[in-house]
Amino acid sequence: MSDLDARAEAAGILGEYRDLYGTWHDTPPETKAALLAAMGQDADASPHSRTLPRWHVCTHAEPPSLGVLGPWQITLEDGRGFEGEGRLPALPMGRHRLEAAEEVCWLLSAPPRLPLPERDWGLMVPLACLRPADQGGIGSFADLAVVAEGAAAQGAGFLGINPIHAGFHVADPGGFSPYTPSHRRRLAPLYLPTGSAAAPGPIVDFAVETPARLAELEAQFRAAPPGAAFDAWLRHEGEDLQQFALHQALSEKLGAYWDAWDPAYQDPASPQVAQAARELNERVRFHAWLQYAAEGAVTDAQRRAKAAGMAHGLYLDLAVGTHPHGAETWTDRANFATGASLGAPPDAFAPQGQNWRLAPFNPVVLEATGFEALALTLRQQLRFSGMLRIDHIIGFERAYWVPDEEGLPGAYVKMPREAMFAVARIEAARANAVIIGEDLGVIPDGLHHAMDESGLLGCRLACFEHAGDPPAFKRPEDYDEAVIASFTTHDLPTWKGWRAGREIDTRVEIGLTPPDHANGMRDWRGREIAGFDWLSGQFRGDLPPEAPEAMCHVLAATKARLVAVQVEDVLDSDVQPNLPGTVSEYPNWRQRLPLGPQAIADTPVLANAGRIMEASGRRRKS
């Protein structure tokens, strides 16, 4: 094994991988060198041997099994420290720093398994699109609270939304995709409620609505300057918040993406940035206040959801990565790989592979810092929710990195799975929350088992739970228990759209699917519909097979602990929120719902869904 190969292996860069069709691909030396550089590792250096591992997972309140020779010192997560020699003592739950023989090992003291939630169900809604066409505007956290209260009245235990991370609203209203965030530990203030003039129409116009909403928020800030409570919050949030707010203020002057800034401003520690912080003090304070207001609004939405009877309240979503040139990487460069992006290897959908243009966590730095960035990211989401979905949980096992250098193929980087799961268990246990890992698609061997051992729920989509031709759909009693089940997701057609094959037609219309392939896809869809209708016929009684309630009967009967119903299905809509593989060809994340927040809560289908769920043991929470 060459020095490069040894260094790459030590850093977790896999030397080969098997694709969707079973073909093995070798990782070329050039890719290994590029990914090592992205991690900040010297490709020519040899890995160092260690006595202690870099991390060790143990059960809280029990002595770690890790053997340590000689004296040691432990610094607990809360800052307390003590010394000893020989066997390590039982530790409280948390991430603790062990030092021995001039080495550092992070002790991840976690509960062995999170408890499964009781049988329950909830509603999924697109926050930005909650206002109907005749009203216009961007949906707000106040609108969210109204939907939560209405859904709770029908027995729903949670209300799910897409990520609400801070985006690029300040300088690029077009950068609105919730899955390409600027900073995952900060919130998007464009969801703050205002009385600004709206732009009616079926499509949310972020380019018009976002500046209007921000202008009104600034007017509120100036008319009623925040007082002592805000100043206390600023002191509590500290330097991290100040850096984020400074980034936002700089973005107003220099542009949304820091890689296009003058080099002097690309380094947060530069003298020029320090001078800008003094000159932009009032703008920095405004952007900090936006975060203060957003946190208060989300907290209030969660309070209202719980007060209305929801067991979990808000169900938030954590994006798999962050924009490589947004606020998160500007303020915290070290925790992210520089020179590589997350993506996916070549497959039938994308023969050239996919580059998602998202910066991945650097596993070398995660391990060296005791997984602090991961812990803080999870903790921030769980401050405002009772449930959290982790997008592409495969990223806790391995991540496909694509070098920025043109022409180099990507490779998989092995992530410290057991440690990352332990951190997730710690943060979820502290918040008494449920963690769901999005485990759809091709999943490595062992990941589902590891999720189950940790008490992390998986995802199951009823539209894909079948086999054979004609397809035989999985019976409800054969579903896994530790999962959240739904018919589809925001990336797939609605119940009505699925039955009509609308996404097939759309993909043909915009040139993503050849017309000669579409006929075969439509024939297959017809067989799928027949198979599902046969299954729902065992549960739906006199309901017609196309009724959304027919599908709800099947979901309700599954063994899955949790069930999610899409609001588009409640509203009998065939409008798919997002069409993967498109950017401008399809109005992703912008198509308004036909009814507003209170009207959604009053729909007969939602009430019927609640009765169906309750009859299957998914009890009302009161």
**What is the reported pLDDT for 198?**
73
Report how far residue 168's alpha carbon sits from residue 251's, in angstroms, rounded to the nearest whole number: 9
| Tens of pLDDT, residues 295-326 | 999 999 999 999 999 999 999 999 999 999 99
**What is the reported pLDDT for 621?**
47
Burial class (CB in 10 A: 0-12, 13-18, 19+), 510: middle
**Beta bridge mates, 591:** 203
* Ranges of H-type helices in 383-485: 417-431, 447-454
Neighbours of 142 (CB within 10 A): 17
Pairing outcome for strands 483-486 and 562-566: parallel
Report how far residue 548's alpha carbon sits from residue 540's, in angstroms, rounded to the nearest whole number: 10
Backbone angles phi, psi at 470, to 5 degrees: -70, 150
Per-residue b/e over 284-302, b at no fewer than 16 CB within 10 Å?
bbbbbbbbbbbbebbeebb
Report how far residue 511's alpha carbon sits from residue 427's, in angstroms, rounded to the nearest whole number: 45
Report how far residue 612's alpha carbon sits from residue 605's, in angstroms, rounded to the nearest whole number: 10
613 and 155 in contact (C-beta within 8 Å)?
Answer: yes
Q: Where are the domains of the chain?
A: 120-188+299-615
Radius of gyration of the chain (CA): 25
* 3-state helix/strand/coil string of 178-229: CCCCCEEEEECHHHCCCCCCCCCCCECCHHHHHHHHHHHHHHHHHHCCCCHH
Take residue 45 and report the two structure tokens written for it. 């250096």
Q: What is the largest CA-CA distance in the chain?
A: 74
CA 30 to chain CA mean position, Å: 31
**What is the reported pLDDT for 347?**
72
**What is the reported pLDDT for 23?**
86
Q: State the first-to-last Cα distance of the chain, in angstroms, to the nearest integer.
A: 63
Q: Per CATH, which fold does 120-188+299-615 belong to?
A: TIM Barrel (3.20.20)
CA nearest to 495, candidates 544, 534, 550: 550
Per-residue b/e over 511-545, b at no fewer than 16 CB within 10 Å?
ebbeeeeeeebeeebeebbebbbebbeebbeebeb
**What is the reported pLDDT for 22?**
82
**Beta bridge mates, 75:** 81, 97
State the DSSP code for 259. G
**For the chain, how many helices (H) and strands (E)?**
20, 23
Which residues of the chain fall short of a pLDDT of 50?
A: 621
